[in-house]
């Protein structure tokens, strides 16, 4: 899933999925502690705060065959696109994790990918996401001192430590990194830009939207690897080609072994496009004043390695 980012002073909802839940079932209790990646407490501390456990508890009305990307559930209230859920098979209790990309009024719940086995009617559909609502005081501005010391990535990183129990068993705390930035750099590539370039059902808007978001994370990682602060990018359209090519590579990774070479070629093309964009002028706020001055540019010294 795409990395979680917040705008400084705006707050938002932090979501975490305990990996052990795919074996141990839905969480029964959870708390979270949030700090800067340096270990410093937040201006409004979050210390062992009670987390919310996704309360969804539904049943399948119709059997879902292996490979199906649709679950039929009469009551879909509380189910959200983008969320992950566990399905406990009615016949043997095996847990299957799924990600929802769309919920229809007729009870059809569309999935990111097909289920890996048959799921009989009356199989339980359970929420397992842990969440916590961050207030503006929990999302302070990035630490500018770290950025000035040459570690722009560390300046924006925060850490959530989740403690939880599954089936009465307390598991060791798990860490989650998230970002708080002065602003969130939005991608300019849309699902519509990609749909006509991918085959069949891979072009479904919900699936492509996920691919676009995941690929954007990779582009931002590429910027960070080159020492570029994403908060200072004044013209994200410069990154369009790199993002589009990376999205195609991300999508092709799920199309099977025959697409591996094609995906790698697109990934290489995306890297080349990003490097070319980094060499361009008039797109980067070197002076950190939110103004795009004449001739202002970022001089690129490092080659991107992924």
Q: What is the pLDDT of residues 48-74, one digit of tens each?
A: 999 999 999 999 999 999 999 999 999
The 3-state DSSP class for residue 1 equals coil
In whole angstroms, give the CA distance from residue 17 to residue 162.
Answer: 10
CB 275 within 8 A of CB 303: yes
| Residue 199 pLDDT grade (very low, low, confident, very high; cuts 50, 70, 90) | confident
In whole angstroms, give the CA distance from residue 195 to residue 200.
Answer: 9
In whole angstroms, give the CA distance from residue 70 to residue 97.
Answer: 13
Whole-angstrom CA distances from 140 to 10, 135, 182 are 9, 10, 9
Q: How many CA atoms lie within 13 A of 251 on its CB side?
A: 28
- pLDDT recorded at residue 155: 76
Alpha helix (H) ranges present in the chain?
21-24, 144-148, 152-156, 191-195, 205-225, 240-252, 260-278
* Region of poorest pLDDT, from 39-48, 89-98, 289-298: 289-298
3 has a pLDDT exceeding 80: no
- pLDDT recorded at residue 276: 92
Q: How many residues does the chain have?
A: 306
- pLDDT recorded at residue 149: 40
Average pLDDT of span 74-81: 93
In whole angstroms, give the CA distance from residue 242 to residue 219.
Answer: 7
Classify residue 289 as exposed, middle or buried by CB count within 10 Å of its CB (0-12, 13-18, 19+).
Answer: exposed
Whole-angstrom CA distances from 301 to 101, 212, 291, 294 are 40, 27, 23, 21
Domains recognised in the chain with CATH numbers: 5-53+129-181 (2.60.40), 57-127 (2.40.10), 191-278 (no CATH)
Average pLDDT, the chain: 87
294 has a pLDDT exceeding 90: no
* Region of poorest pLDDT, from 109-118, 144-153, 284-293: 144-153
The strand pairing partners of 70, in sequence order, are: 110
Residue 289 or residue 117, greater confidence: 117
Chain centroid offset of residue 111 CA: 16
Average pLDDT of span 6-28: 95
Interval 251-273: pLDDT, tens: 998 888 899 999 999 999 999 99
Closest CA to 157 of 1, 3, 2: 3
Please tell me what DSSP assigns to residue 182.
Answer: S
Rg of the chain (C-alpha set):
21
Chain centroid offset of residue 102 CA: 17
List all residues 6 or more positions away from 87 whose beta carbon is below 8 Å from its beta carbon: 60, 64, 71, 95, 96, 97, 98, 115, 119, 123, 124, 125, 126
Percent of the chain past pLDDT 70, that is, above it, reads 88
């Amino acid at each position: 899933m795409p990395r979680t980012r917040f705008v400084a002073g705006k707050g938002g909802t932090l979501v975490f999925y305990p990996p052990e839940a795919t074996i141990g079932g839905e969480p029964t209790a959870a708390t979270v502690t949030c700090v800067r990646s340096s270990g410093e407490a937040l201006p409004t501390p979050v210390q062992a705060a009670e987390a919310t456990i996704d309360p969804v508890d539904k049943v399948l009305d119709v059997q879902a065959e292996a490979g199906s990307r649709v679950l039929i559930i009469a009551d879909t209230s509380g189910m959200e696109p983008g969320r992950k859920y566990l399905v406990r098979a009615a016949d043997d209790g095996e847990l299957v994790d799924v990600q929802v990309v769309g919920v229809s009024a007729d009870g059809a719940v569309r999935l990111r990918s097909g289920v890996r086995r048959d799921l009989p009617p009356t199989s339980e559909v359970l929420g397992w996401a842990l969440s916590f609502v961050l207030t503006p005081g929990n999302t302070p501005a990035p630490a500018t001192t770290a950025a000035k010391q040459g570690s722009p990535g560390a300046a924006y990183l925060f850490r959530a430590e989740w403690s939880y129990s599954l089936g009465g068993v307390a598991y060791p705390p798990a860490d989650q990194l998230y970002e708080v930035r002065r602003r969130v750099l939005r991608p300019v590539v849309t699902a519509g830009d990609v749909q006509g370039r991918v085959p069949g059902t891979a072009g479904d808007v919900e699936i492509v939207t996920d691919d676009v978001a995941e690929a954007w994370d990779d582009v931002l990682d590429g910027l960070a690897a080159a020492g570029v602060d994403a908060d200072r990018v004044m013209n994200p359209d410069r990154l369009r080609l790199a993002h589009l090519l990376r999205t195609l590579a991300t999508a092709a990774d799920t199309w099977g072994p025959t697409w591996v070479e094609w995906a790698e070629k697109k990934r290489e093309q995306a890297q080349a496009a990003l490097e070319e964009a980094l060499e361009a002028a008039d797109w980067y706020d070197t002076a950190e004043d939110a103004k795009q001055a004449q001739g202002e540019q970022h001089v690129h010294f490092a080659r991107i390695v992924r």
